[in-house]
Amino acid sequence: MIVQPLPVTSRLQHKGHFDRGAAAVEMALVMPLLILMVMGMIDFGRAYSAQIQLSQAAREGVRLASLNTTGVAGGTVTANPYGDAAILARVQNAAGGVSGITVTTTYCSDPPGPSQTAQVVAQAPFTWITGISGMSKFFGSGTFPTPTNLQSTGVMRCTG
């Protein structure tokens, strides 16, 4: 049997020699995109939750405002039983984790007509926490402003 030595290039090659470090390079290219996606999901989930809470709070406030009619008793105009402070307190209690809420209310008049509605507009600032607002330089200014103003409107027919 004749034994021939392997060529020099064959002896130096090891399995996977040219693949060494490829996984690290691929991870370095893909990791920023994965982190950006996770950060976006966290912040958009928080924003969506805050919007849902604000919407529910506006519905609670408008329910109270629709009951808020001025009455005339013996020629004297009686005060609204539920004022702005009571409606704001109801909205803030219903909003739970949303802070900085401001409320604009349109009340019912007396006597309430069949098509008359009360309206409550609740607004609250929302701050992005994961730095996604820094992406606005790529998508244009104003895409993710900090704080972002969330708004929800509740409308309900007046009771009579």
Residues 6+ apart with CB under 8 A from 106: 65, 117, 118, 119, 120
Q: Check pLDDT > 90 for residue 96.
A: no
Query: Across residues 38-58, what is the average pLDDT?
Result: 93
Q: Check pLDDT > 90 for residue 155.
A: yes
Neighbours of 79 (CB within 10 A): 8
What's this model's pTM, rounded to 2 decimal places?
0.72
Angle (CA) 96-102-106 rounded to 5° is: 115
**Greater model confidence, 10 or 46:** 46
Band (30; pLDDT cuts 50, 70, 90): very high
13, 35, 93, 117, 136 from 55: Cα distances, Å: 66, 30, 13, 17, 26
Domain ranges of the chain: 22-69+80-157
Query: Across residues 116-139, what is the average pLDDT?
Result: 83
- Tell which residue, 159, 154, 144, 156, has the closest CA to residue 122: 154
Q: Check pLDDT > 70 for residue 86.
A: yes
The fold of 22-69+80-157 is Pantoate--beta-alanine Ligase; Chain: A,domain 2 (3.30.1300)
Q: Check pLDDT > 70 for residue 70.
A: no
**Tokens found for residue 148:** 């972002």
**Greater model confidence, 73 or 128:** 128
- What is the C-alpha separation between 58 and 120, in angstroms, rounded? 6
